[in-house]
Amino acid sequence: MDTSKKKKRIAILTGGGDAPGLNAVIYTLTKTCILKYGYEVIGYRFGYRGLLLNEYKPLTLETTSGILHKGGSILCSSNKHNLFDFPLKDENGNFVRDKDGNIVKRDVSDVAVENLKKDGVDVLVVLGGDGSLTSARDFSKKGVNVIGVPKTIDNDLKATDVTFGFNSAVNIVTEALGRVHTTAESHHRIIIVEVMGRNAGWIALHGGIAGSADVILIPEIPYKLENIVQKIEERDMRGKPFSIIVVSEGAKEMGGEQTVSKIVEDSPDAIRLGGIAHKLSYQLEQLISDDHEVRPVVLGHTQRGGETSPYDRILSARYGNYAARMIAEGRFGEMVCLKGSEITSIPFDEVIGGQRLVDPNCELVQVARDMGISFGDQPVKERM
């Protein structure tokens, strides 16, 4: 064995919002790199911020022991640090603004590239969604050896069939629907459960079907209030004086706009959706009979937390293992992905831009319709 040959150093960072499965990828990638290939592994803390500030920690068999099942990220994460469009702050920590009041931003990516060189990093593995992977592509174009791994509970990356974190989030939604079902039935209430997903309705669709929802509202299928009311009344007539409505945070009425919770100025994705459950609750209370109370339930970040589902643990392990293989084979500028049952990879340029959204005419939507689930876009058909 040639001991004079430099040991390859691999760096990992987790960008964007956290998702169950991040630690499983870190665990598998680190163990495979060390045990199979003899690499050294480090992890930058708080995503690209750690890369900018050069804050990292060693990833060893000891430091990654026992993390496979845990949600979150032992490296911590951040969804506010785009190093190619970085907001400036003054000595008091306030944003620097131009004469029109806009935050002044600049490209600080060269600092990150220099840190990678200083730290002796041979390959950077980015675990993230569309924003993080866009930066990964841009670093690749600057000569950095980068590999991407697809992460988002929203399942909206167009280049892979499934992202890790999605299955865990659906499990949480399904369990929550089971819990609200009993209280809705006991009080004859309409309970509206708001779930995440941004512009994609995958969590609402899968969770709604698995959790026996009566109405599923998703961004891809705008709804009419009168159709939802009609569904509630139809259930009343069948002796079911309660209803469960699952609504994706990005859902909207026909001809209406999405409900915005707040604007985060220093985030690359400044618009935060949310509040649709409360809005819809108020609207329905004005339209349905006094026999029903309407209650909104916002699951929020519970969908991101807790233990990683077995499916996501295995998917993450496959992603991490394949990323290690790509490192060994010198295949950079690509993202690991799942196509059918096969783990493969795809160039960053084919990953970025556009979202994987629910096709309103897809099989799963039709399955739901055939079960009598309303999407709020059509009047309720009379039962035969």
Listed in sequence order, the residues at least 6 apart from 14 whose beta carbon sits closer than 8 Å to its beta carbon are 22, 26, 47, 73, 75, 76, 77, 127, 128, 151
- 241 with 188: CB under 8 angstroms? yes
Residue type, 376: G
Q: Judging by DSSP bridges, how do beta strands 190-195 and 243-248 pair with one another?
A: parallel
| Tokens found for residue 237 | 């007539």
Catalytic choice (18, 138, 154, 214): 154
312 is catalytic: no
Taking alpha carbons only, the member of 162, 124, 160, 161 closest to residue 142 is 124
Let me know the angle formed at the C-alpha of 195 by 258 and 238, rounded to the nearest 5 degrees.
100
How far is Cα 271 from Cα 182, in angstroms, rounded to an integer?
34
Helix pair angle (166-187, 310-329), 10° resolution: 160
Listed in sequence order, the residues at least 6 apart from 375 whose beta carbon sits closer than 8 Å to its beta carbon are 215, 216, 217, 218, 221, 223, 365, 368, 369
Radius of gyration in angstroms for the set of CA atoms belonging to the chain, rounded to a whole number: 23
- Residues tagged active-site: 154
